[in-house]
Amino acid sequence: MALLKKMRHLHLRILPVTAENRHFLLRTRGFHKHSTCQSLPAVEENVLPGNFSAAAVGKDGPLKTLKDMAGPSTISNIIEFFFRDGFSRIHEIQQQHSQKYGRIFKSRFGPQLVVSIADRDMIAEVLRAEGVAPQRANMESWKEYRDMRGRATGLISAEGEDWLKMRSVLRQQIMRPRDVAVFADDISGVVTDLVARVRALRGRQPDGLTVLNVNDLFFKYAMEGISVVLYEQRLGCLEERIPQLSLEYIAALHLMFSSFKTSMYAGAIPKWLRPLIPKPWEEFCHSWDGLFKFSKVHVDRRLSEIQGQLAAGQEVKGGLLTCLLVTKELTLEEIYANMTEMLLAGVDTTSFTLSWSTYLLALHPQVQQQIYEEVVSTLGPDKVPVSEDLPRLPLIRGLVKETLRLFPVLPGNGRITQKNLAVGGYLIPAGTQLALCHYTTSLDEGSFPNAAQFLPQRWVRKDATDRVDNFGSIPFGYGIRSCVGRRIAELEMHLALTQLIQKFHIQVSPLTEEVRAKTHGLLTPGAPINVRFVDRQ
Ligand code: HEM
């Protein structure tokens, strides 16, 4: 209350969403309450959905039903996933299945039928036909945890009207490059610490050059980087001694990902079986407790700072969190939930991409040299890049795009169809779980000639009319439910890579053999990437 009364004294760096534009979104997009919140009935394969007649005809002739669709049998899936460790090869299995069964195929996982789409144009059709509040997957286990603890859902776990409200608030704060440019100075401060940490770590190795398991370093960078944006404070992750609270968070995050398979089962195992197999659900809840606790501490800290400033009649300045706390467009519980989910979504994604980028640069010294030349001809050898410099570094942007094409952090994404669709000659009923096979489309020769090659140059536009984006590679998703943190992630990666390339020759260490990708929830390096950072001057 006190905050609201004093809002006129505030000077926020970021303008809040107005009630007017939020309601505009709700009104004009024809959003219907509950339209996406239905529980998912098992999809019948041979039934023509309501709004299609039996003689439904697509652009290439009569439409077929899911019953006609090819795909691996349940038995072969069980063997593949449980006996051949398919969970760590989901990206490869995606490719193999699309070669064997076609660009659209079905798989069964117990009662769940999944339709996989490994074709750029079909994916485009699906995403372009999306409604106002698309649903990614069944988030029942996430919601159950939140209900059990009396917590709100955040952007990842929310659906329908709840999601739309939060999305319309957050998207206007962080979705455009110019919105996130205000964070560039703070992130640059984190990059300075990253560079210092590279020097400290390599100094400990016998050759004085190698940073072992570079992902460990980028993890800390990404956590520190996203935290200055989300919590408006430094966490000390790049210091020699990491503060206890941050260490606890890292442990909770590791538990969430290391128990990825068990967490998946937490949602898949029926509730009545939990007393017999309690571990997955217990670990799932335990890691969420840790993640929420961390966000709550940091949000509460900022809230009491703001209250103190207002009580003392001082001006309140701040970024995203300050704005959310002051405008109260989201409840405090929604703020905790969104900070928790954004932090979860924003650390490994960014750190894996940075690890793959440095690995690819090290493997391709000529490409690295080309990018280095662009950086020094634009900035000189020493200038610290600012956000306005980034549009003038197309190869740095191409480097990130090409890394994400070859190693899309999310090798596949999901959608639950909200209406009946005709895709690839098939009728897909509403309520069907779709798997969009981005790994396969990213490596498709039709979309990307010499697809296996690392060519950041392919993303550089020749002129303003030249569009090189295509649905073959959409690492941040597409449309209204795409990654809300995209611009923050890009800013963090562009600023870090520019400085690393400016300062160091990045070389493969003899300690690193070929590193292949494995799926562990996300597409991760399957072995430690050890990289040499050799001073350029
Ligand atoms: C390299 C870095 C990143 C990649 C490749 C990435 C990729 C993605 C993808 C593919 C999705 C799903 C989009 C869809 O379903 O269409 C997503 C969703 C999301 N991402 Fe990211 N992400 C990255 C970094 C971040 C960061 C830094 C944040 C923190 C703000 C973040 C927050 C989110 C959230 C909250 C969602 C859910 C959005 C919603 O459902 O409305 N991501 N991300």
| Digit-coded pLDDT (tens) for 370-388 | 999 999 999 999 999 999 9
DSSP string, 100-152: HH-SEEEEEETTEEEEEE--HHHHHHHHHT--SS-B-S--HHHHHHHHHTT--
- Regarding the beta carbon of 481 and ligand 1, being less than 6 Å apart is answered yes
Decide which of 6 and 122 is more confident: 122
Task: Tell the residue nearest (CA) to atom 27 of ligand 1.
Answer: 346
| pLDDT score, position 266 | 60
- Mean pLDDT confidence for 200-215: 97
In whole angstroms, give the CA distance from residue 484 to residue 170. 8
Percent of all residues in the chain with a pLDDT value above 90, rounded to a whole number: 68
State pLDDT tens for residues 178-193.
889 999 999 999 999 9
Confidence check: pLDDT of 58 > 80: no
- Regarding the beta carbon of 166 and ligand 1, being less than 6 Å apart is answered no
| pLDDT score, position 22 | 31
- Regarding the beta carbon of 134 and ligand 1, being less than 6 Å apart is answered no
| pLDDT score, position 265 | 58
> For residue 527, how many other CB atoms are within 10 A of its CB?
13
pTM assigned to the model? 0.89
| pLDDT score, position 464 | 66
Task: Tell the residue nearest (CA) to atom 10 of ligand 1.
Answer: 476
| pLDDT score, position 283 | 85
Confidence check: pLDDT of 176 > 90: no
Cα–Cα distances in Å, from 286 out to 253, 269, 317, 344, 534? Answer: 10, 17, 35, 15, 42
Tokens 């980087």, located at residue: 225
Looking from the CA of residue 166, the nearest atom of ligand 1 is 41
State pLDDT tens for residues 487-517.
999 999 999 999 999 999 999 999 888 999 9
| pLDDT score, position 251 | 80
Residues 6+ apart with CB under 8 A from 462: none
In whole angstroms, give the CA distance from residue 227 to residue 240. 18
In whole angstroms, give the CA distance from residue 362 to residue 531. 7
State pLDDT tens for residues 210-226.
999 999 999 999 999 99
Percent of all residues in the chain with a pLDDT value above 70, rounded to a whole number: 85
- Regarding the beta carbon of 405 and ligand 1, being less than 6 Å apart is answered no
In whole angstroms, give the CA distance from residue 165 to residue 43. 29
Q: Residue 263: pLDDT band by 50, 70, 90 thresholds? A: low
For 183, phi then psi, to 5°, come to -90, -5
Looking from the CA of residue 474, the nearest atom of ligand 1 is 10
Q: Residue 31: pLDDT band by 50, 70, 90 thresholds? A: very low
Decide which of 95 and 59 is more confident: 95
- Residue 26 Cα, ligand 1 centroid: separation in angstroms? 22
| pLDDT score, position 34 | 28
In whole angstroms, give the CA distance from residue 478 to residue 469. 11
Looking from the CA of residue 413, the nearest atom of ligand 1 is 15
Mutate to test the pocket of ligand 1, among 161, 483, 492, 524 (most ligand atoms within 8 A of CB): 483
Q: How far apart are the first and last CA of the chain?
A: 56
- Regarding the beta carbon of 345 and ligand 1, being less than 6 Å apart is answered yes
Confidence check: pLDDT of 520 > 80: yes
Q: Average pLDDT, whole number, for the chain?
A: 86
- Residue 32 Cα, ligand 1 centroid: separation in angstroms? 25
237 is in an annotated binding site: no
- Residue 349 Cα, ligand 1 centroid: separation in angstroms? 8
| Single-letter amino acid, residue 115 | V
Torsion over CA of 409, 412, 415 and 420, rounded to 10 degrees?
Answer: 150
Within 205-274, where are the H helices? Answer: 214-230, 244-258, 260-268
Angle between helix axes 394-406 and 365-379 (nearest 10 degrees) is: 150
Mutate to test the pocket of ligand 1, among 187, 348, 476, 491 (most ligand atoms within 8 A of CB): 476
Task: Tell the residue nearest (CA) to atom 17 of ligand 1.
Answer: 483
In whole angstroms, give the CA distance from residue 298 to residue 295. 5
Q: Which residues of 34-70 are buried (b: 16+ CB within 10 A; e: fewer)?
A: ebbeeeeeebeeeebbeebeeebeeeeeebebbeebe
Confidence check: pLDDT of 26 > 80: no
Angle of CA points 311, 312, 316, to nearest 5°: 85
- Edge to edge, the sheet with strand 504-508 lists 210-211, 531-535, 504-508
What is the predicted ipTM? 0.99
Cα–Cα distances in Å, from 431 out to 36, 320, 416? Answer: 9, 35, 6
State pLDDT tens for residues 279-307.
888 888 988 998 899 999 999 999 999 99
Nearest to 185 by CA among 15, 389, 386, 379: 386
- Regarding the beta carbon of 225 and ligand 1, being less than 6 Å apart is answered no
Task: Tell the residue nearest (CA) to atom 6 of ligand 1.
Answer: 476
State pLDDT tens for residues 35-50.
222 333 445 565 555 4
| pLDDT score, position 196 | 97
Task: Tell the residue nearest (CA) to atom 26 of ligand 1.
Answer: 346
- Residue 492 Cα, ligand 1 centroid: separation in angstroms? 14
- Regarding the beta carbon of 483 and ligand 1, being less than 6 Å apart is answered yes
Cα–Cα distances in Å, from 363 out to 312, 515, 529? Answer: 56, 11, 11
